[in-house]
């Protein structure tokens, strides 16, 4: 168990978005006590879980108070592709989906990734570097099965910066700009169906069910 939990980052998000991520954090640690004390840092732009080869003690969650980060999920339709189950969860309960709920769902989801790391850590029986290697390799394997063979974020970056002639190569295969948008969408949908993503979502839904009933 880590003991570096810092409540300030979550308080900042809650203040900025009128959200209740602090409650999400505590509910998640009640369901998965080994996550208790997991460090939370404030990030300018993104919310994520960063795992570390030293185990949970070296890992951390990062959360951003940027409302644009969360509203993008809604305005671009990403929420529907990336988190269909969670969106359905809110809608069937009549919960208004906004930046606050997206922030809560994302934190719960990222803690789901942390919880999966815990199962790897347990399996490795104290060899944290081995657990880190195993889950990272599995991550790479799953990402490799996506239609674009990489995360949508990475593909977008490669496209925008034409990294290693990426854009040129895609166009060479006969894809137009419209096709590219469709490819990204297909990739996003497939991403949400990766086993690791579903595991994280399942955990998030358990946490949200405790709060939203
Ligand atoms: Zn995820």
Express each pLDDT in 118-174 by its tens digit: 999 999 999 999 999 999 999 999 999 999 999 998 999 999 999 999 999 999 999
Confidence of residue 3 (pLDDT cuts 50, 70, 90): low
- Ligand 1 centre distance from Cα of residue 175 (Å): 28
Task: Flag the least confident range among 73-82, 90-99, 125-134, 141-150.
Answer: 73-82
pLDDT, averaged across the chain: 94
Query: Would the pLDDT of 2 be above 70?
Result: no
Radius of gyration of the chain (CA): 18
- Ligand 1 centre distance from Cα of residue 99 (Å): 18
The tokens for 35 are 């996550």
Query: Would the pLDDT of 24 be above 50?
Result: yes
pLDDT of residue 19: 97
pLDDT of residue 1: 46
- Ligand 1 centre distance from Cα of residue 49 (Å): 9
DSSP letter at 32 equals S
Contacts of residue 155, Cβ cutoff 8 Å, sequence gap at least 6:
148, 166, 183, 184, 187
Query: Would the pLDDT of 190 be above 80?
Result: yes
- Residue 18 to residue 99: CA distance in whole angstroms: 9
- Ligand 1 centre distance from Cα of residue 172 (Å): 31
Q: What is the mean pLDDT of residues 55-84?
A: 90
- Ligand 1 centre distance from Cα of residue 192 (Å): 8
Query: Would the pLDDT of 28 be above 70?
Result: yes
Classify each residue of 130-155 as buried b or exposed e, where b means 16 or more C-beta atoms within 10 Å of its C-beta.
ebbebbeeebeeebeebbbebbbebb
- Give per-residue pLDDT as tens, 30-47: 999 999 989 999 999 999
pLDDT of residue 94: 96
Q: What is the mean pLDDT of residues 192-199?
A: 96
Between 3 and 62, whose confidence is greater?
62
Best CA proximity match to 47, nearest among 23, 18, 73: 73
- Residue 190 to residue 188: CA distance in whole angstroms: 5
Query: Would the pLDDT of 197 be above 90?
Result: yes
- Ligand 1 centre distance from Cα of residue 189 (Å): 12
> What is the pTM assigned to this prediction?
0.92
DSSP letter at 149 equals S
């Amino acid at each position: 168990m880590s003991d570096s939990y810092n409540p300030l980052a979550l308080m900042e998000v809650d203040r900025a978005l009128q959200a209740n991520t602090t409650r999400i954090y505590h509910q998640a640690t009640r369901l998965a006590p080994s996550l208790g004390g997991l460090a939370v840092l404030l990030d300018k732009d993104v919310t994520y879980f960063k795992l570390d080869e030293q185990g949970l003690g070296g890992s951390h969650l990062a959360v951003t108070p940027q409302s644009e980060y969360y509203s993008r999920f809604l305005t671009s339709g990403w929420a529907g592709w990336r988190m269909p189950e969670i969106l359905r969860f809110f809608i069937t309960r009549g919960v208004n989906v906004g930046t606050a709920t997206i922030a809560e769902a994302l934190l719960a989801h990222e803690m789901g990734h942390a919880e999966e790391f815990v199962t790897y850590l347990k399996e490795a029986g104290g060899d944290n570097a081995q657990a880190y290697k195993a889950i990272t390799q599995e991550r790479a394997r799953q990402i490799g099965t996506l239609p674009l063979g990489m995360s949508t974020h990475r593909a977008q970056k490669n496209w925008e910066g034409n990294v290693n002639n990426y854009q040129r190569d895609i166009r060479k295969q006969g894809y137009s700009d419209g096709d590219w948008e469709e490819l990204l969408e297909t990739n996003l949908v497939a991403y949400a169906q990766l086993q690791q993503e579903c595991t994280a979502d399942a955990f998030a839904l358990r946490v949200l069910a405790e709060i939203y009933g």
